[in-house]
Chains A and B, each alone.
Chain A
Amino acid sequence: MADMISESAARLFAGTARRAATEAWSPDLWQEIEEAGYPLSLLSEEKGGFGLEGEEAFAALRIAARHAAPVPLAETMVANWLLAEAGLPLAEGPAAVDDGTGRIPWGRHLAVLVRVSAGAEPRLQRLALADASWREGRNLVGEPRDELLSAPGVAVEARLGVAAEVPQALAALARAQQLAGAMESVLDMTVRYATERVQFGRPIAKFQAIQQYLAVMAEETAAASAAAAMGALALSLARTAPARFRLLAGAAKLRAGEAVGKVADLAHQIHGAIGFSQEYPLHELTRRLWSWRDEDGREDDWAEILGQAVLAGRARGLWPQITHLQSDRF
Chain B
Amino acid sequence: MSSLDFPLPAPLEGHAALRAQVRDFLKETLPPGYSAAERARSWMGFDPEFSRALGARGYIGMTLPVEYGGHGRSAIERHVVVEELLAAGAPVAAHWIADRQSSQMILRCGTEAQRREILPRIAAGECYFCIGMSEPDSGSDLASVRSRAERVPGGWRLTGTKLWTTFAHKSHYMICFCRTGPAEERHAGNSQFIVDLSLPGISIRPVLDIAGEHHFNEVSFDDVLLPEDALLGREGEGWTQVMSELAFERSGPERFLSSFALLEETSRLAGADDAGAARALGRLTAHLLVLRHMSQSVAGRLQQGEKPDLHAAIVKDLGATFEQEIPERARQLIAPAQGDADYAAAFARTRLAAPCFSLRGGTREVLRGIIARHLGVR
> A-side interface residues toward B, CB under 8 Å?
184, 187-188, 191, 194-195, 205-206, 210-212, 214-216, 218-219, 221-223, 225-227, 229-230, 233, 248, 250-252, 254-255, 258, 299-300, 302-312, 314, 317-319, 322-323, 325-330
In the complex, what residue of chain B is closest to A194 when comparing beta carbons? B377
In the bound complex, do residue A328 and residue B11 qualify as a contact, i.e. CB atoms below 8 Å apart?
Answer: yes
Interface centre among A195, A221, A230 (most CB of B within 10 A): A230
User: With A219-B371, A303-B278, A319-B264 known to touch, is A254 a contact of B286 (CB < 8 Å)?
Assistant: yes
Most buried by A among B80, B260, B282, B283: B282
26 contacts between A and B (CB under 8 A): A191-B376, A212-B369, A214-B372, A215-B369, A215-B375, A218-B371, A218-B375, A222-B6, A226-B290, A230-B293, A233-B8, A251-B286, A254-B282, A254-B283, A255-B286, A302-B286, A304-B279, A307-B277, A307-B281, A319-B88, A322-B292, A326-B289, A326-B293, A327-B15, A330-B8, A330-B76
Cross-interface CB contact of B267 among A252, A302, A305, A310, cutoff 8 Å: A310
A205 vs B373: C-alpha distance when bound (angstroms): 11
Q: Given A223-B294, A226-B294, A229-B7, A195–B376 Cβ distance below 8 Å?
A: yes
Which of B29-37, B102-110, B268-276 lies on the face that meets chain A? B268-276
A206 to B378, CA, bound (A): 7
Residues of A within 8 A of B71 (CB): none
B296 at the interface (CB under 8 A from A): yes
Given A219-B314, A304-B278, A325-B289 contact (CB < 8 Å): yes
CA–CA, A330 and B374, complex, Å: 29
Among candidates A227, A317, A329, A330, residue contacting B264 with C-beta atoms closer than 8 Å: A317
Please determine whether A218 and B314 come into contact, CB atoms closer than 8 angstroms: yes
B372 & A251 in contact (Cβ 8 Å cutoff): no
Q: From residue A188, how far is it (CB to closest CB) to chain B in Å?
A: 7
The answer to whether B250 has its CB under 8 Å from any CB of chain A is no
Query: Which residues from 341 to 377 on chain B have a C-beta closer than 8 Å to any C-beta of chain A?
Result: 365, 367-369, 371-372, 374-377
A212 to chain B, nearest CB (A): 5
A330–B296 touching, CB < 8 Å: yes
* Inter-chain contact B372/A215, CB cutoff 8 Å: yes
Q: How far is the CA of A15 from the CA of B20 in the complex (A)?
A: 52
Besides the contacts A300-B279, A317-B264, what 12 more A-B pairs have beta carbons closer than 8 Å? A211-B368, A214-B377, A219-B314, A219-B317, A223-B314, A229-B6, A251-B286, A303-B282, A304-B275, A305-B282, A309-B282, A322-B292
Q: How many residues of B contact A (CB 8 A)?
A: 57
Partner pick for B15 among A206, A251, A330, CB 8 A cutoff: A330
The reply on B4 being an interface residue by CB < 8 A is yes
Closest 7 CB pairs of A and B: A307-B282, A307-B278, A306-B282, A215-B368, A303-B282, A251-B286, A211-B372
Q: Given A304-B282, A326-B293, does the pair A311, B272 have CB atoms closer than 8 Å?
A: yes
**In whole angstroms, what is the CA distance A219 to B79 when docked?**
22
CB-contact partner of A314 in B5, B267, B375, under 8 A: B267
Interface string of B248-278 (1 = CB under 8 A from A): 0000000000001001100110101001011
Residue of B nearest to A256 (CB): B290
- Structural contact, A223 and B318, CB atoms closer than 8 A: yes
- Min distance, Cβ B302 to any Cβ of chain A, angstroms: 14
Which B residues have a C-beta under 8 Å from some C-beta of A? Answer: 1, 4-8, 11-12, 15-16, 19, 76, 79-80, 83, 87-88, 260, 263-264, 267-268, 270, 272, 275, 277-283, 285-290, 292-294, 296-297, 314, 317-318, 365, 367-369, 371-372, 374-378
Inter-subunit contact A303/B80 (CB<8 Å): no
Q: Are B264 and A307 in contact (CB under 8 A)?
A: no
Contact B280 A303 (CB under 8 A): yes
Q: Do residues A306 and B286 form an inter-chain contact, with CB atoms below 8 A?
A: yes
Instruction: Tell me the interface secondary structure of chain B in the complex.
Output: helix
Q: How far apart are the CA atoms of A191 and B377 in the complex, in Å?
A: 8
B1: contacting residue among A188, A308, A311, CB under 8 A: A188
CA distance A206 to B264 in the complex (A): 43
Complex interface: chain B residues within 8 A of A303 (CB):
278-280, 282-283, 286
Contact of B8 with A211 in the complex, beta carbons under 8 Å: no
Check A318/B76 contact, CB under 8 A, given A311-B277, A311-B278: no
Q: Tell me the bound Cα distance from A306 to B288 in angstroms.
A: 12
- B residues less than 8 Å from A250 (CB atoms): 286
**B282 to nearest A CB, angstroms?**
3
Q: How far is the CB of A170 from chain B (nearest CB, A)?
A: 17
Q: Which residues of A contact B264 (CB under 8 A)?
A: 317-319
Find chain A residues with CB under 8 A from B317 CB. Answer: 215, 219
Establish whether residues B282 and A222, one from each chain, have CB atoms under 8 Å apart when the complex forms: no
Q: How distant is A215 from chain B, measured CB to nearest CB, in Å? A: 4
A222 vs B297: C-alpha distance when bound (angstroms)? 12
Q: Which of B88, B270, B281, B374 has the most CB of A within 10 A?
A: B281
In the bound complex, CA of A323 to CA of B16 (Å): 9
Q: How far is the CB of A221 from chain B (nearest CB, A)?
A: 6
Given A218-B314, A318-B263, verify A225-B280 contact (CB < 8 Å).
no
Q: Is the CB of B4 within 8 A of A222?
A: yes
With A195-B377, A229-B6, A255-B287 already in contact, the answer to whether A323 and B371 are too (CB < 8 A) is: no
Contact partners of A254 in chain B: CB under 8 A: 282-283, 286
Query: Considering only CB atoms, which chain B residue lies closest to A228 in the complex?
Result: B290
**Minimum C-beta distance from B59 to chain A (A):** 17
Which of A191, A221, A300, A311 has most chain B Cβ within 10 Å?
A: A311
B288 surroundings in chain A (CB, below 8 A): 322
Contact A222 B314 (CB under 8 A): yes
In the complex the two chains form, what is the Cα distance from A214 to B2 in whole Å? 14
Distance A312 CA – B272 CA, assembled complex (angstroms): 8
Chain A residue numbers with a CB within 8 Å of B286 are: 227, 250-252, 254-255, 302-303, 306
Q: Which residue of A lies closest to B19 (CB)?
A: A323
In Å, the complex CA distance between A237 and B1 comes to: 34
Measured between beta carbons, the chain B residues less than 8 angstroms from A188 are 1
Interchain nearest-CB distance for B23 vs A (Å) = 8
Q: Are A330 and B11 also in contact (CB < 8 A) when A215-B375, A314-B268 are?
A: yes
* B374 vs chain A, min Cβ distance (A): 8
Q: Which residue of B lies closest to A217 (CB)?
A: B375
